[in-house]
Amino acid sequence: MTSTPLIRVDGVTKKFGTTTALRNVALSVEQGEVVVLLGLSGSGKSTLLRHLNGLELPTRGRVSVLGEEVSNLSGRRLRALRSRVGFVFQSFELVPSLTVLENVLTGALATIRGPRFGLWGYSTALKRTALGHLDRVGLAHLAYQRSDTLSGGQQQRVAIARALIQNPEILLADEPVASLDPESSDSIMALLREIAADAGLTVVCSLHQVDLALSWGDRIVGLRHGEVVLDTPTADLSKAEVMEIYGRVATSTRELEAIATELTVAEVLGDGETDVYEILADALDDTIVGAAPGNSADADYAPRNSPQWS
């Protein structure tokens, strides 16, 4: 790594009261990278993302984004940094009673001074830009509808347009498709990827579905219990490595068993020649060792699952 990374997280620990959300996390993201933060709920993905635009401040450690030390910023300078970083939320977070267009325009508030009440508060030039972004996500025809009359997928498109009007250099997305049905999920993820490629955006996106993360990101960073347990490019991953990823992000044997069952079905229905059980047994072993050190007498988990299909 010769160039300065766009995002650099160094030894960040975050505590909320007595619970530790992040534990000594290190991460660096280069210009133009598309990184997926992978982990189950409660693994610290959202907390980490919120550190990247100063919505949370670390208890310990340093976060630097776009060459600025986030902890040192406040007031206008913090807002200036935030305006250069787009954020897409899991539950869209549109203002329900405002029109779609006005929701998009709220993304540009950092570039204008003072409050705005209603559409007439924004300049025509800004409205034109907003409509352009709405057109980009395919919703210009709904510009004057109340945002709460839209479907989930459409609302997330509006939220993406709201992030785009910031003309961001980095796009952060916190579980952007977790509240959507599979079909809208696919189109939203494709849209994000397209936009990122078009604008040369750096993207950090948190997800909890391994298969989606594998097909979508350039690089996966796995989190478990607030710790980085995995950091790997997705290209040329072998099946065994994929299994390993499943093993790493899971937090309990029950989750792992569920994943194993699903995978087994896939494998058996597919070619059925891979030595799935062995890998799974290893993965299980890892998890259990990780969860309760010193007790590794669990090798009999895989056999208990196997007879059904073998």
Partner 1 sequence: MVLITERPVLDAAPEPVALPYRRLPPERVAATLTIVALLVVSIVSLVDVNISIPSMLDSWSNAVRFFDRVGVVSFPPLDELLYLTAFTVSLVLCGTLLAAVLSVPVAYISAANTTPGPLWRGVGRFVGVFTRAIPDVVLAMVFVLMFSLGSLPGILAIGIHSVGMISKMFADAIEQVDDGPRLAIRAAGGSKLQEFSSGVLPQVLPSWVATVLHRNDINLRGSVILGYVGVAGLGAEMAHAFKSLDYSLGLGIAIVVFALCVAMEIVSSAVRTSMLGTRPTGGRLGDRLVRLALANRQPPTTAPVGSGDAVENALRRPWTRERVRTVVWGWTAVAVIIGSVLICDISWGDFLTLWSYLPSIAASFWPPSFGNYDAAILVSAMLETIAIALAATVLTLIVSMVIGSLAARNIAPNGRVRGAMRLLLVCIRGVPEIILAIVLIVVTGLGTQAGTLALAFGGIGLLGKLIADSFEEVKPGPERALTAAGATRIQVYAGATVPQGMKALLGHSFYLLDTNIRAATILGIVGGGGVGYYLLNAGQGSKYDLVTSIVLLIFVTVLLVEGLAMWMRRVFR
Interface residue with partner 1 among 2, 3, 19, 124 (CB under 8 A) is 124
Look up residue 185 and give its two tokens.
């999920």
Phi-psi region of 200 (alpha: psi -120 to 50; beta: other; left: phi over 0): left
Q: Strand pairing of 7-16 and 19-29?
A: antiparallel
Q: Does 272 bind partner 1 (CB under 8 A)?
A: no
Residue 67 binds to partner 1 (criterion: CB under 8 A): no
Q: Between 102 and 244, whose beta carbon lies closer to partner 1? A: 102
Among 8, 15, 40, 55, binds partner 1 (CB under 8 A): 55
Which one among 2, 19, 114, 254 touches partner 1, defined by CB under 8 A?
114
> Taking CB under 8 A as the rule, does residue 275 contact partner 1?
no
242 touches partner 1 by CB under 8 A:
no
Shortest Å, Cβ 135 to partner 1: 5
Dihedrals phi, psi of 177, to nearest 5 degrees: -120, 10
Q: Please state, in angstroms and rounded to a whole number, the distance separating the CA atoms of residues 138 and 236.
A: 34
* SS3 state of residue 146: strand
User: Closer CB to partner 1, residue 84 or residue 225?
Assistant: 84
Q: Rounded to the nearest whole angstrom, what is the least distance from the CB of residue 84 to partner 1 in the complex?
A: 8
Closest CA to 182 of 151, 143, 153: 153
* Element (DSSP H or E) covering residue 212: helix 210-216
Residue 86 or 217 with smaller CB distance to partner 1: 86
CB-nearer residue toward partner 1: 92 or 301: 92
Interaction of residue 57 with partner 1, rule CB under 8 A: no
Give the per-residue SS3 of 39-55. CCCCCCHHHHHHHHCCC
Name which position in 46, 154, 155, 166 contacts partner 1 (CB under 8 A): 166
Question: Phi and psi dihedrals of 115, rounded to 5?
Answer: -75, 160
Q: Are strands 34-38 and 219-224 parallel, antiparallel or unpaired?
A: parallel
81 lines the binding site for partner 1 (CB under 8 A): yes
Chain centroid, CA 219 distance in Å: 12
Alpha-carbon gap, residue 82 to 50, rounded angstroms: 11
Question: Residue 198, interface with partner 1 (CB under 8 A)?
Answer: no
Find the part of the chain contacting partner 1 (CB under 8 A) among 18-26, 89-97, 215-223, 242-250.
89-97
Q: Which is nearer to partner 1, 81 or 191 (CB)?
A: 81
Nearer to partner 1, 46 or 234 (CB): 46
Assess 119 for contact with partner 1 (CB under 8 A).
Answer: yes
Q: Which residue type does 285 have?
A: D
Cβ atoms 203, 173 nearer than 8 A: yes
Q: What is the DSSP letter of 21?
A: E
Do 148 and 96 form a contact (C-beta atoms < 8 A)? yes
Q: Which of the residues 92 through 111 are near partner 1 (CB under 8 A)?
A: 92-98, 101-102, 106-110
Residue 168, classed as helix, strand or coil, is coil
Identity of the residue, 36 or 170, whose beta carbon is nearer to partner 1 in the bound complex: 170
Interface with partner 1 (CB under 8 A): 53, 55, 79-87, 89, 91-98, 101-102, 106-110, 114-117, 119, 124, 127-128, 131-132, 134-135, 138, 140-141, 143-144, 159, 162-163, 166
